[in-house]
């Protein structure tokens, strides 16, 4: 499943995005960071609506990391409230567009009302044909540690048993990882899953990232030659 690279280089089945740059987008315009986050949600909304014609089976989005709790209390509150609003406003569109929601990370330790909303959304979208996986309270090192501990509990720690216990174990192998805003690092995101993924770092700040830019990235991916350690 999640640890075996796809051999069909011409078609990306699973793309992940580190959605970076909301704060800088707002700062450039003299606006509060909260406005940048709001515009970032709009970019997510447009991207999700475009999935049907993209050929993707799964889109994974880094929404809130386990390190993001270090931000100011006001900013964290803004992000949590945006999450509440997004679930309420867009759940029916997920259902209508046959999009399955999946959450990765330690999301069940979020506020009880958010957990309840997410559980409801997961149930109502479970039959979707495209998957949007959202990383909430997520850190890849923590995910790998949890998976290794589960593998050890059954007495067999190896690559396959760790992969089988990752949060992404039911998703296609990761083909392409994109980071916006010009930063060139993974920031504790999908470290295991990225072992053979192609990577693309773009200067565009996340609120300005469009479905057309994703399509360009998919075209770029289709031209790459993937060797998976071979020649």
Burial class (CB within 10 angstroms; exposed 0-12, middle 13-18, buried 19+) of 92: exposed
| pLDDT score, position 225 | 76
Question: What domains lie within the chain, and their CATH numbers?
Answer: 14-139+168-216 (3.40.1180.10)
Kindly report the backbone phi and psi dihedral angles of residue 4, in degrees, each rounded to the nearest multiple of 5, phi listed first: -105, 120
* Active-site position among 8, 52, 68, 175: 68
Would you say residue 9 has pLDDT above 60?
no
The average confidence (pLDDT) of the chain is: 92
| pLDDT score, position 228 | 66
Task: Please calculate the CA angle 134-213-81 and round it to the nearest 5 degrees.
Answer: 35
Is residue 220 among the annotated active site residues? no
CA torsion 142-143-147-152 (nearest 10°) is: 0
Is residue 57 among the annotated active site residues? no
Would you say residue 226 has pLDDT above 80?
no
Would you say residue 211 has pLDDT above 70?
yes
* Active-site position among 3, 8, 20, 90: 20
pLDDT digit string, tens, across residues 119-162 = 999 999 999 999 999 999 999 999 999 999 999 998 889 999 99
């Amino acid at each position: 499943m999640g640890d075996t690279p796809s051999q069909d280089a011409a078609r990306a089945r699973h793309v992940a995005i580190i959605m970076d740059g909301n704060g800088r987008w707002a700062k450039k315009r003299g606006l509060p960071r909260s406005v940048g986050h709001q515009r970032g949600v709009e970019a997510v909304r447009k991207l999700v609506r475009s999935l049907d014609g993209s050929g993707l089976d799964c889109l994974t989005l880094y929404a809130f990391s386990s390190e993001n709790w270090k931000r100011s209390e006001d900013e964290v509150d803004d992000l949590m409230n945006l999450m509440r609003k997004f679930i309420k406003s867009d759940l029916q569109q997920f259902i209508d567009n046959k999009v399955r929601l999946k959450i990765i990370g330690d999301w069940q330790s979020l506020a009880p009302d958010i957990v309840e909303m997410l559980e409801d959304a997961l149930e109502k979208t479970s039959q979707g044909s495209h998957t949007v996986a959202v990383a909430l309270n997520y850190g890849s090192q923590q995910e790998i540690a949890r998976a290794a501990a589960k593998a050890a509990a059954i007495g067999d720690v190896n690559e396959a048993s760790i992969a089988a216990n990752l949060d992404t174990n039911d998703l296609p192998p990761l083909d392409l990882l994109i980071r916006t805003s010009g930063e060139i690092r993974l920031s504790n995101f999908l470290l295991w899953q990225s072992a053979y993924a192609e990577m693309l770092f773009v200067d565009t700040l996340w609120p300005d990232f469009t479905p057309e830019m994703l399509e360009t990235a998919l075209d770029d991916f289709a031209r790459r030659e993937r060797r998976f350690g071979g020649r």
